[in-house]
Amino acid sequence: MKTYKIAVMGGDGTGPEVTVEAVKVLKAAEAKFGFKLDMTDFDFGGERYKRTGETLPDSAIEEFRKFDAILLGAIGHPDVKPGILEKGILLKARFALDQYINLRPVRLFEGVETPLKGKGPKEIDYVVVRENTGDAYTGTGGFTMKGTPNEVAVQSAVYTRFQVDRCLKYAFEYTKKYGKKARGVGKENTLGLVGKTNVLTYIYDLWERAFHEMGQKEYPDIRRDYYHVDATCMWMVKSPEWFDVLVTGNMFGDIITDLGAITQGGMGIAAGGNINPQGVSMFEPIGGSAPKYTGMGVINPLAAICAAQMMLETLGEEKAAKKIDEAVRFVTANKMKSMAAGKMGFSTSQVGDLVAEKVAE
């Protein structure tokens, strides 16, 4: 039987609670679809940092390399200064394990409320491929004359051709496999590049040239669109049905996927994958640790369950992944009152049970 080694890192706040539900659903899938998940817990996060001063040590990264995937809950602790855990754990894992894709589906499920008037699951059904290793996230920077009236702060946005090409390659391949035509819900497979070629005339010029070169040469059947990032924000609200797969740099991808998440029902449902197609990938609900709800059993575990679903899809367990997707859609359409914490009509663990039971059926 195929066995996968999974590192489970519940993290902070409500992270561990939602992760328990994701694991519950994975166990239901494993029993039914004939593979095994060998799961190991890791306690990296704010509590451990407060105890030991340690975020995510190099030895943990080396340990993670022996796993097939990582399932993450959430990172962020109210007693720890912002930036320490984010940089020390989340970003460290992304960069050290070279998880160069951040895959963030923007899909509205039946039964989930969206703030977009007149839009439903048919219209809100696209994916953002966010580059995950470059841009201002890893560009150099610093201060001079700090604390004086002449203080200077610099932080550069950097892209290499290599980073851009490997991200585009993934995005084109993803579009070929999961674009709207491939999924039977549209006439074309379309990849849209989101940039800012009118101002960031260096880095997005590089992206645009690489995009059209690769598209023309290797993917002539995939339609190519280009959007400025500011306009993208408008269209994400006004005409999300235009989009199929979008690809963009790290910073723009971070920003537009929070907008995307709220249009799909919010942080209770939005999931993402930090993917290294040749290495160890890490899957996470994209909402934060929601510390004020910790331990109350009211937080929505669906985002974590959807992250686990993406993990199985990436590992190649596509049948099980499809089943979990269907189960989540069944639960949102027929059971839950709302995606918001405390308003679901069920507790955190009851929502996990509903999905797990459906998967086991």
Interaction site with ligand IPM (CB under 6 A)? 86, 90-91, 254, 286
Dist CA 114 CA 175 (whole Å) = 25
- Determine the residue with CB nearest Mn ion: 254
Q: Which does 86 bind (CB under 5 to 8 A by kind): Mn ion, ligand IPM, none?
A: ligand IPM
Strand (E) positions, 108-155? 125-131, 141-144, 152-155
Q: 28 vs 154, 302, 329, 358, CA distance in Å?
A: 50, 15, 16, 9
Judged by beta carbon, residue 86 or residue 165, the one nearer ligand IPM is 86
Q: 44 vs 55, 67, 68, 289, CA distance in Å?
A: 7, 16, 18, 13
Beta bridge partners of 154: 142
Nearest approach, Cβ of residue 136 and ligand IPM (Å): 10
Q: Which does 91 bind (CB under 5 to 8 A by kind): Mn ion, ligand IPM, none?
A: ligand IPM
Closest CA to 206 of 194, 219, 217, 197: 197
Q: What's the full length of the chain, in residues?
A: 361
Q: 160 vs 133, 138, 238, 275, 361, CA distance in Å?
A: 10, 11, 33, 19, 48
- The answer to whether 119 and 242 have CB atoms below 8 angstroms apart is no
Dist CA 348 CA 300 (whole Å) = 6
Nearest approach, Cβ of residue 287 and ligand IPM (Å): 10
Nearest approach, Cβ of residue 83 and ligand IPM (Å): 8
Nearest approach, Cβ of residue 81 and ligand IPM (Å): 13
Q: Which does 18 bind (CB under 5 to 8 A by kind): ligand IPM, Mn ion, none?
A: none
Give the three-class secondary structure for 313: helix
- The answer to whether 197 and 205 have CB atoms below 8 angstroms apart is yes
Q: Which does 203 bind (CB under 5 to 8 A by kind): ligand IPM, Mn ion, none?
A: none
Dist CA 241 CA 61 (whole Å) = 40
Q: Which does 222 bind (CB under 5 to 8 A by kind): ligand IPM, Mn ion, none?
A: none
For the record, the structure tokens of 73 come out as 């809950």
Judged by beta carbon, residue 21 or residue 254, the one nearer Mn ion is 254
Judged by beta carbon, residue 82 or residue 316, the one nearer ligand IPM is 82
Q: Which does 90 bind (CB under 5 to 8 A by kind): Mn ion, ligand IPM, none?
A: ligand IPM
Nearest approach, Cβ of residue 128 and ligand IPM (Å): 11
Judged by beta carbon, residue 138 or residue 338, the one nearer ligand IPM is 138
Judged by beta carbon, residue 254 or residue 313, the one nearer Mn ion is 254
- Determine the residue with CB nearest ligand IPM: 86
Give the three-class secondary structure for 25: helix
Judged by beta carbon, residue 75 or residue 321, the one nearer Mn ion is 75
Judged by beta carbon, residue 83 or residue 147, the one nearer ligand IPM is 83
Residue 242, exposed/middle/buried by CB under 10 A (0-12, 13-18, 19+)? Answer: middle
Nearest approach, Cβ of residue 346 and ligand IPM (Å): 27
Which residues of the chain form contacts with Mn ion (CB under 5 A)? 254
Q: Which does 353 bind (CB under 5 to 8 A by kind): ligand IPM, Mn ion, none?
A: none
Judged by beta carbon, residue 16 or residue 272, the one nearer ligand IPM is 272
Closest CA to 354 of 331, 329, 325: 331
Nearest approach, Cβ of residue 285 and ligand IPM (Å): 10
Q: Which does 71 bind (CB under 5 to 8 A by kind): ligand IPM, Mn ion, none?
A: none
Dist CA 82 CA 89 (whole Å) = 12
Nearest approach, Cβ of residue 254 and Mn ion (Å): 4
